[in-house]
Structure 1
Amino acid sequence: MIKNIAFGAFLLFSGMLFGQNAAMSQEESKAFVTKVSSEAKTIKTLQADFIQTKKMDFLDKNIVTQGKMSLKSPNTLSWKYTKPYQYSIIFKDNKILINDQGKKSSVDAKSKTFEKINKLIVGSSNGQMFGDTEFIVRYFKNDHYNIARFIPKSSQLLKYIKEIELHFPKNQSTVSQVNMTEASGDTTNIVFKNTKINAPIAASEFSL
């Protein structure tokens, strides 16, 4: 359960816009990466509300959850689900801290698949994800978004993730939507709203 929720939380997912997407040219992708990477260097904190929709083959209805994401440079990340249940996952000091409706636990994240996923999500705010050697990155565009699609290289990661997409609105350099397709074919879509950049974040956001 922890593994499914964690992957659903950090990766983002369905490819809803595949049919409308066009591949970027080499010049376009280079300009996009340069712009995002440059502007991301100024981000010290990032906060956003999110709505996550998970589609699983064996369920008739999608699983919809809501919560808040908080990120502090260089590598501290918090996902706190508030509806319809309370569940928190915090990446901090190479640890995954979990609070499942009052039941607290921790997992060593160092050199594990979770650590790679955390690195990618944090990298989406500082621009470093484009140089992540764990993934092949392909770039696309449509009328509303620039899209970076990450495909795992390692067989270990491919056991869980088929691909991850980060959607950047045309007029901004921060992610507004994450789509993930798991190896099973299940998909997760995360949409961020009310994003705040470089606003103070209470220390309690990164503790259970």
Structure 2
Amino acid sequence: MTPKEITDLKKNVKIVAQKTTTINSDFDQFKHMEFLSDAIKTSGKMKFKAPKLVKWSYTKPFQYSVVFKEGNLLINNEGKKSDVNIGSNQLFQQLNQLIVKSISGDMFDETEFTMNFIKTTENYIVTFNSKDAELKKYIKQFILYFDKENYTVMEVKMVEPSDDYTHIIFKNRIENQTIKDEVFKN
């Protein structure tokens, strides 16, 4: 991408994100591991409510949900509930920041990442490589696929240092409809 295209992408992603108060989306997640011939597929729903409430609910093949809320990671594993203070866990804190920043349009931080921008016929693809040594132990890079029409994230790929990766594809995305706060209780 040209420098102007990169600037325009960043600007448009930010404009769209600032207008987005809620997101309700289905997703398919594929976990690719070197020692498995086929990826492990899970499906579910992702919900976001500005400014920082995020819930991932896995519905197939099992019931599992994770909520990032007020500095905590709330987990419900088929009825077994637990919570983790992410403020005391640097990795969870960074992952939560990445999720919220990618939704809010603030992910283009050159102090935190080196970035590579690619344009295809369907998407803008941005590869982020962390400059943080601790985060790089867990995530080598993450890749966001933006829709060229509306500048929203359509896919996320998180690559581990081993080159195993998780690929999330969003579908049936609905924005700016009411989501009650109770949804984010786990």
Question: Which bracket does the TM-score occupy, shorter chain normalised?
Answer: over 0.9
Equivalent residue, structure 2, for 1:154: 132
Deviations 1:116-174 (A, max 9, x none): 11112112222111136322222111111011211011111111111101111110121
Which runs of structure 1 show a deviation greater than 4 angstroms over 4 or more consecutive aligned residues? none
Q: C-alpha distance in 1, partners of 2:17/2:110?
A: 15
Q: What is the one-letter code of the residue matched to 1:33? A: K
Give me the whole-angstrom Cα distance separating, in 2, the residues matched to 1:195 and 1:32. 20
2:67 maps to 1:90: yes
**1:32 is matched with which residue?**
9
Q: Does 1:81 align with 2:69?
A: no
Aligned residue in 2 for 1:194: 172
Q: Distance in 1 between matches of 2:72 and 2:106?
A: 21
Taking only the aligned residue pairs, the percentage that are identical comes to: 41
Amino acid aligned to 1:169: D
Per-residue CA deviations over 1:12-41 (Å, capped at 9, x if unaligned) read: xxxxxxxxxxxx111110111011112211
Higher RCO (CA-CA < 8 Å; seq separation 6+): 1
Q: How does 1:1-208 map to 2 (within 5 A)?
A: 24-110=1-87, 112-131=90-109, 133-208=111-186
TM-score when normalising by structure 2: 0.95
1:14 aligned partner: none
User: Does structure 2 conserve the Cα–Cα contact (< 8 Å) formed by 1:75 and 1:119?
Assistant: no
Please provide the CA RMSD for this pair: 1.3
Give the C-alpha shift of residue 184 in structure 1. 1.6
Which 5+ residue runs of structure 2 have no aligned equivalent? none
Distance 1:104 1:193, change over 3 A: same
CA deviation map 1:82-141 (0-9, x unaligned): 000001110000100111111111111116111111112112222111136322222111
Q: List runs of 5+ in structure 1 lacking aligned partners.
A: 1-23
Counterpart-to-counterpart distance in 1, 2:99 and 2:110: 11
Q: Quick check: 1:160–1:184 contact (8 Å CA) kept in 2?
A: no
2:182 aligned partner, one-letter code: S
